[in-house]
């Protein structure tokens, strides 16, 4: 089943010059980028995106980190892309993430919520998050030349 999922390259990824490296991880798996933009969050939007975490003790430090600079938001499409992307990203805490994952290769400890990437957790969240982050016109359905080897 072809799914779309929201991925954020968080401000630490931009500050550390890891945008290309992270995008490459999705591209080289044959997953397709169907939307991409740079956004600098304000508190209202942070609270919408992280609604499930607003009341948690770590929310203030997470919010101040995610708002401290621009981030890159992308929509990734592919067969079972939601779980594939979560696996590529690795576990929430980098200290538990396996080598070979983004968090396991480029981070080693969760400080102030810095773990480089966000990825939608399930189909319901993916749908809700893509709608929050992207207007219809900002995502694009197109065929990539290599799809006959990766998708069809």
| Cβ closest to ligand IDP, residue 112 vs residue 144 | 112
The active-site residue, picked from 53, 118, 140, 149, is: 118
- Cβ at position 128, least distance to Mg ion in Å: 12
CA distance 5 to 75: 6
DSSP assignment, residue 135? -
Residue 35 and residue 126 in contact, taking contact as beta carbons nearer than 8 Å:
no
CA distance 12 to 101: 16
The correct pick among 42, 58, 131, 146 for binding ligand IDP (CB under 6 A) is: 58
The correct pick among 61, 95, 96, 147 for binding ligand IDP (CB under 6 A) is: 61
Binding mask 106-145 for ligand IDP (x = CB under 6 A): ----x--x-x--x--x------------------------
CA distances to 51, 91, 136, 152 from 143, in Å: 34, 31, 18, 11
Q: Where are the beta strands (DSSP E) in the chain?
A: 2-9, 32-39, 71-79, 117-119
Q: Pick out residues in 74-93 that bind ligand IDP (CB under 6 A).
A: 92
Active site residues: 118
Give residues in contact with ligand IDP (CB under 6 A): 53, 58, 61-62, 92, 110, 113, 115, 118, 121
């Amino acid at each position: 089943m072809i799914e779309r999922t929201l991925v954020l390259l968080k401000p630490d990824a931009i500050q550390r010059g890891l945008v290309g490296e992270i995008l490459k991880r999705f591209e080289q798996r044959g997953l397709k980028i169907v939307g991409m933009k740079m956004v600098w969050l304000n508190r209202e939007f942070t609270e919408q995106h992280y609604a499930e975490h607003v009341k948690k003790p770590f929310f203030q430090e997470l919010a101040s980190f995610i708002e401290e600079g621009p981030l890159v938001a992308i929509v990734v499409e592919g067969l079972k892309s939601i779980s594939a992307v979560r696996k590529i990203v690795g576990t929430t805490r980098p200290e538990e993430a396996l080598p070979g994952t983004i968090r396991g290769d480029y981070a080693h400890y969760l400080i102030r919520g810095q773990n480089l990437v966000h990825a939608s957790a399930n189909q319901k969240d993916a749908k809700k998050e893509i709608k929050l982050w992207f207007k219809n016109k900002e995502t694009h359905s197109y065929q990539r030349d290599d799809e006959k080897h990766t998708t069809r």
